[in-house]
Amino acid sequence: MNKRISFRIHGGIVQGIFFRKHTQARAQEFGVTGWIQNIAGEKIEGEAQGNEEQLQKMVKEIKTGPPNAVVVKVETEDIPVVEGEAEFVVKRTVR
């Protein structure tokens, strides 16, 4: 059974190091759908959808990120599943 989470990544260093593209590649590898985007204040937010095992892998991945990332804190919350979503996309930065 699928579930969906929202996540917010607080960093020392999470922007300008391909965190979003890295996360997108891992999501595709894990079979997770959703989205990710940079937001103001050295933070990243997004949503991820998949089964329990897929989401556990995804959360583990976003807690470490790509090389050179410094993740200070990750917040997650269960949210309603989105039907018909087919991919994990990188959204434009919101400032």
| Residue 85 Cα to chain centre, angstroms | 15
Catalytic residue check, 51: no
Q: Which of 2, 8, 38, 95 is catalytic?
A: 38
Query: Which residues on neighbouring strands pair with residue 68, listed in sequence order?
Result: none
The gap from C-alpha 76 to its chain's centroid, in whole angstroms, comes to: 10
Please state, in angstroms and rounded to a whole number, the distance separating the CA atoms of residues 23 and 83: 21
Catalytic residue among 2, 4, 8, 20: 20
**Is 92 among the residues known to form the active site?**
no
Residues catalogued as catalytic: 20, 38
